[in-house]
Structure 1
């Protein structure tokens, strides 16, 4: 099974993905943006695009890699990645589903105020790319085509992970009950994300 976490930048996809990976036995955390960074590094500046998902190669390579992992292992694959265009969603997620691969797609939604607060907590509020895409992506990912929308405004990372696991009928390990330790885990995730 693939669990795809969509939603606007700053909503908490990576935090939720890391929580799910930690609590699902043998789960794989897959980073589609690694392919985007490779393309940006290898292509001359004249061929570079502002958004990874606009590269046809990005969509094709991620589709192929996810298909290979999903058909070669029994592990749960967690993919925290915003896809803002229905065509791109259909190419990757639709293509995987057409191959008979179970993809559960969740769009994490939150108000701009909540997202701004989360970005402030991560020290990422002034990220130009994030701010420039925040409103556009929020509007596009909250369309009917992007099913299973979770309103995360009043939910913690643990509660979001619990909800997703329950909806996917996946048994997960208990959450960390110590709020200080849970905070440290989430802080570590934020630090790794900034330098990934």
Structure 2
């Protein structure tokens, strides 16, 4: 099974993925942006694009890697990645589904103030790319294909993980009850995401 966490930049995909991965035995986290980083490092400047997803190779390689992991890895794969362009969606998620791979697609939403608060906690609010993405993603997203929408504005990452696990009929370990311990774990996850 693949659990795909979609949604706007800063909505909490990476933190939710880390929470799910930590609490779900036999799961792995897959970051499609690593393929983009590889492409950007290897391609000459004249061939570089601003958005990883615009590379046909990004879509093909992520599809192929996810297919291999899903079919041969025998584990739940958690993918935190915004994927809104319909053609790109079809080339990755659509093809995985055509291969009879169980892709559970969740679209995380939050009000703009919550997203700004989360970006500020991450230290990304002054990042020009982050701010641009935040402005670009305020358009209606009702046409996101086959997604279970989750409004995360009033939810903790542990609550989002609990909801997704229940919806997927997966048993996960209990959440950390102590809010300070949970905050420390989330801070550690944030640092891992920065250097991942």
Structure 2: runs of 5+ lacking an equivalent: none
Give the superposed CA RMSD: 1.2
Query: Which aligned segments of 4 or more residues in structure 1 are displaced greater than 3 angstroms?
Result: none
Q: d(CA) in 2 for partners of 1:160 and 1:123?
A: 22
SS for the counterpart of 1:57 is helix
Quote how far apart the aligned CAs of 1:67 are: 0.3
Counterpart for residue 159 of structure 1: 159
Residue correspondences, number: 196
Counterpart for residue 54 of structure 2: 54
Quote how far apart the aligned CAs of 1:134 are: 1.7
Closer, same or farther in 2 for the Cα pair 1:144/1:192, shift >3 Å?
Answer: closer
Closer, same or farther in 2 for the Cα pair 1:10/1:146, shift >3 Å?
Answer: farther
Quote how far apart the aligned CAs of 1:129 are: 1.1
Write out aligned runs for 1:111-122 (5 A). Answer: 111-122=111-122
Q: Deviations over 1:137-164 (max 9, x none)?
A: 3436443525211000100000000001
1:172 aligns with 2:169: no
Q: d(CA) in 2 for partners of 1:91 and 1:130?
A: 25
Q: Deviations over 1:41-77 (max 9, x none)?
A: 0001111111111110000000000000101022000
1:194 aligns with 2:194: yes
Q: d(CA) in 2 for partners of 1:135 and 1:108?
A: 17
Q: Deviations over 1:87-113 (max 9, x none)?
A: 111110000000000000001001111
Quote how far apart the aligned CAs of 1:192 are: 1.4
SS for the counterpart of 2:49 is coil
1:95 aligns with 2:95: yes
SS for the counterpart of 1:21 is helix
Residue range with higher mean Cα deviation, 65-74 or 126-135: 126-135
Equivalent pair of 1:107/1:141 in contact (CA under 8 Å): no
Structure 1: runs of 5+ lacking an equivalent: none
Closer, same or farther in 2 for the Cα pair 1:146/1:10, shift >3 Å?
Answer: farther
Counterpart for residue 27 of structure 1: 27
Counterpart for residue 9 of structure 1: 9
Q: d(CA) in 1 for partners of 2:48 and 2:94?
A: 26
Q: d(CA) in 2 for partners of 1:83 and 1:140?
A: 14
TM-score normalised according to structure 1 size: 0.96
Counterpart for residue 83 of structure 2: 83
